[in-house]
Amino acid sequence: MTGTRWLITGGAGYVGAHVVRAVLASGREAVVVDDLSTGARDRVPAGVAFLDGSVTDASFLTGVLQAVRPDGVVHLAAKKSPTESVSDPLRYARENVGGVTALATAALAAGVERIVFSSSCSVYGTPDVELVREDAPLLPQSPYGDSKLYGERLLAAAARAHGTGLVSLRYFNVAGTAEPALADTGAHNLVPLALRALRSGTSPVVFGDDYPTPDGTCVRDYVHVEDLAEAHVRAAAALELDLSTATYNVGRGEGSSVLEVLDALRRASGRDVAHEVRERRPGDPARVVGSTERIEAELGWRARRDLDEMVSSAWRAAER
């Protein structure tokens, strides 16, 4: 519904900055809350109100929601490294679980009835199926994945108890950028890691080439961040019509191997980079690809951009 107002936590981050732009492009108003722990103030467009503070602070959030009176909240603010969560699980409990608890508390206090929650395919752990559907077993393998699953469940319980609306979006592997200034600066995902290696003159590392996949390397479902951002707008629109609860995979429903991503990088950069194969990393599943049937059927959303568009936009941003 054009003219509605959405508060976006984590709107100064990689995904959040794209969500803010998609929300604005849909004719809605956006307001950002972010503590800038990994985000950047200059990712928030001019004219969008920015409130600096932590989502773990329920009284700060309640004050913000009471002042801003949004029609809904897109909750992206969180820490996102599964590896870091293994070495510092309590930080992930404080930030991710604490953030969801504070948000649910503040939303209830301020009468905000709609939440779109940033979840992750890490709630599935190591699925043993070709295409993972939303009703697959939920067996996260890291405190990060646990924090996302708990977030989904807590928000769903609160939505049930108070008759409010919730959409949880389980992102698969996010890549690409709408513009260089919004690129992923974290060093957790394959595309930024490979770009970093390329730019520093080292070889991108492939962890394991003996998986039971067509070329022996891990297969993932990559989704362009602009497509992902548009899924949030579809979710917001659905909640504006109906205060229900739903969970959706957000991917392309198509797998790409590590070697296919590196080939896309060779095409984008024009450089014939050699990669280095190392031992498998513990806990890396061979294949994680989402079924997108549900989000297509219920929200009419489908990814439009392919792997080359993701990798070439990321390459152009790195070249800047």
Ligand X SMILES: NC(=O)c1ccc[n+]([C@@H]2O[C@H](COP(=O)([O-])OP(=O)(O)OC[C@H]3O[C@@H](n4cnc5c(N)ncnc54)[C@H](O)[C@@H]3O)[C@@H](O)[C@H]2O)c1
Provide the mask over 260-299, with x wherever binding to ligand X is found by CB under 6 A and - wherever it is not: ----------------------------------------
Catalytic: which of 14, 124, 144, 211? 144
- Scanning 78-86, 196-204, 259-267, 293-301 for contacts with ligand X by CB under 6 A, the matching segment is 78-86
User: Out of 29, 95, 146, 221, which residue is the one contacting ligand X (CB under 6 A)?
Assistant: 95
- For ligand X, the closer CB: 13 or 70: 13
Residue 56 in the binding site for ligand X (CB under 6 A): yes
- For ligand X, the closer CB: 80 or 275: 80
Structural contact between residues 125 and 143, judged by C-beta atoms closer than 8 angstroms: no
Residue 78 in the binding site for ligand X (CB under 6 A): yes
User: Out of 171, 222, 248, 315, which residue is the one contacting ligand X (CB under 6 A)?
Assistant: 171
- For ligand X, the closer CB: 78 or 106: 78
Residue 37 in the binding site for ligand X (CB under 6 A): yes
Question: 69: Cβ–Cβ under 8 A, 6 or more apart, which residues?
Answer: 5, 110
Write down the residue that tokens 């198509």 correspond to. 254
User: Out of 24, 36, 86, 237, which residue is the one contacting ligand X (CB under 6 A)?
Assistant: 36
User: Out of 55, 64, 229, 288, which residue is the one contacting ligand X (CB under 6 A)?
Assistant: 55
Residue 77 in the binding site for ligand X (CB under 6 A): yes
Kindly list the distances between the CA atom of residue 179 and the CA atoms of 82, 165, 316, in Å, as whole numbers in the listed order.
Answer: 26, 32, 9
Q: Which of residues 237-256 bind ligand X (CB under 6 A)?
A: none
The values of phi and psi at residue 175, to 5°, are -150, 170
User: In sequence order, what E strands does the chain have?
Assistant: 5-9, 29-34, 49-52, 72-75, 114-120, 165-171, 173-175, 205-207, 219-220, 222-224, 245-250, 256-257, 276-278, 287-288
Task: List, in sequence order, every residue forming a beta bridge with 75; answer none if it has no partner.
Answer: 9, 117
User: Out of 4, 6, 30, 34, which residue is the one contacting ligand X (CB under 6 A)?
Assistant: 34
A 10 A CB-CB count for 83 gives: 12
Active site residue 14: no
Distance CA 48, CA 151 (A): 27
Q: Which of residues 10-29 bind ligand X (CB under 6 A)?
A: 10, 12-16
Q: Which of residues 109-138 bind ligand X (CB under 6 A)?
A: 118, 120
Structural contact between residues 107 and 89, judged by C-beta atoms closer than 8 angstroms: no
**Which two tokens mark 100?**
């969801």
Cα torsion 36, 191, 152, 75 to 10°: value is 30
Q: What residue ranges bind ligand X (CB under 6 A)?
A: 9-10, 12-16, 34-39, 54-56, 76-80, 95, 99, 118, 120, 171, 173-174, 186, 189
Known catalytic residues? 144
